[in-house]
Structure 1
Amino acid sequence: MSETLPATLPAPVTPAQQQHILNIIRRAARTEILPRFRSLAASDVRTKSHADDLVTTADLAAEAMITRALQIAFPSALIIGEEAVASDPALLDQIADAPLAFIFDPIDGTWNFTHGVAVFGVILAVTQFGRPAFGLIYDPIADDWAVADDENPAVLERANGTSRPLKAAMGKPIEALSGFVPLHMFSKARQAEIATVLPSFKRTHPLRCSAHEYRMIAQGYTDFLMTASLHPWDHAAGALICEQAGCHVEMLDGGPYSAARHEGHLLVAPDRTTWNRLAKVFGFLMGQGAAGSAPT
Structure 2
Amino acid sequence: MDLERARTLAVEAARDAGTLLRTGVDTGFRTSAKGSTGDVVTDLDLASERLLVDRILTAYPGHAVIAEEAGLLGTAGAEWTWLVDPLDGTNNLAIGLPAYAVGLALCRSGRPVLGVVHDPVHARTWSALRGRGATDPVGARLSTPCRPRPHGPLLAWTQGYAVTRDDRRALALKAAMDVTARRVLRLWAPLLAWVMLARGDIDGVVGYRTGTVDLPAGALIAQEAGVEIRALDGGPFDELIDGGATENRSFVAAHPKSLPSLLDLVATALDRA
TM-score norm. by structure 2 comes to 0.85
Alignment partner, residue 222 of structure 1:
202
Q: 1:278 to 1:149 in 2, by over 3 A?
A: same
1:192-231 to structure 2, matched below 5 A, reads 192-198=171-177, 199-231=179-211
Q: Is the 8 A contact 2:160 2:211 kept in 1?
A: no
Alignment partner, residue 264 of structure 2:
280
Q: Is it true that 1:64 corresponds to 2:50 in the alignment? A: yes
Question: How far, CA to CA, are the matches of 2:17 and 2:150 in structure 1?
Answer: 41
Question: How far, CA to CA, are the matches of 2:85 and 2:159 in structure 1?
Answer: 21
Q: 1:182 to 1:237 in 2, by over 3 A?
A: closer
Q: Deviations over 1:186-212 (max 9, x none)?
A: 422224322431201222112111121
Count residues in correspondence.
Answer: 261
Alignment partner, residue 189 of structure 1:
167
1:39-50 to structure 2, matched below 5 A, reads 39-41=27-29, 44-50=30-36
Q: Is it true that 1:239 corresponds to 2:184 in the alignment? A: no
Q: Is the 8 A contact 1:173 1:274 kept in 2?
A: no
Which segment drifts farther, 32-41 or 203-212?
A: 32-41
2:215 aligned counterpart, secondary structure: helix
Alignment partner, residue 141 of structure 2:
165
Q: Which amino acid aligns with 1:84?
A: A
Q: 1:100 to 1:29 in 2, by over 3 A?
A: same
Root-mean-square deviation (CA, aligned residues, Å) is: 2.7
Q: Is the 8 A contact 2:17 2:102 kept in 1?
A: no
Q: CA deviation at 1:184?
A: 9.3
Q: 1:51 to 1:192 in 2, by over 3 A?
A: closer
Alignment partner, residue 24 of structure 2:
36
Which segment drifts farther, 129-138 or 187-196?
A: 187-196
1:196 aligned counterpart, secondary structure: helix
- The percentage of counterpart residues that share the same residue type is 23
Q: Which amino acid aligns with 1:64?
A: R
Match of residue 104, structure 1, among 63, 84, 94: 84
Q: CA deviation at 1:40?
A: 3.1
Q: Deviations over 1:106-154 (max 9, x none)?
A: 0100011112211101011011122110000001122221110102111
Question: How far, CA to CA, are the matches of 1:232 and 1:51 in structure 2?
Answer: 17
TM-score norm. by structure 1 comes to 0.79
Q: Deviations over 1:7-44 (max 9, x none)?
A: xxxxx4431232122222222222x3122115435xx1
Structure showing the higher strand proportion among its residues: 2
Question: How far, CA to CA, are the matches of 2:160 and 2:84 in structure 1?
Answer: 23
Q: 1:248 to 1:172 in 2, by over 3 A?
A: farther
Q: 1:145 to 1:200 in 2, by over 3 A?
A: same
Q: Is the 8 A contact 1:100 1:129 kept in 2?
A: yes
Q: Which amino acid aligns with 2:236?
A: G
1:252-263 to structure 2, matched below 5 A, reads 252-253=232-233, 254-256=235-237, 257-260=239-242, 262-263=247-248
2:210 aligned counterpart, secondary structure: coil
Question: How far, CA to CA, are the matches of 1:281 and 1:231 in structure 2?
Answer: 23
* Unaligned ranges ≥5, structure 1: 1-11, 86-90, 289-296
2:6 aligned counterpart, secondary structure: helix
Q: Is the 8 A contact 1:154 1:166 kept in 2?
A: yes
Q: 1:82 to 1:119 in 2, by over 3 A?
A: same
1:61-100 to structure 2, matched below 5 A, reads 61-85=47-71, 91=72, 98-100=78-80
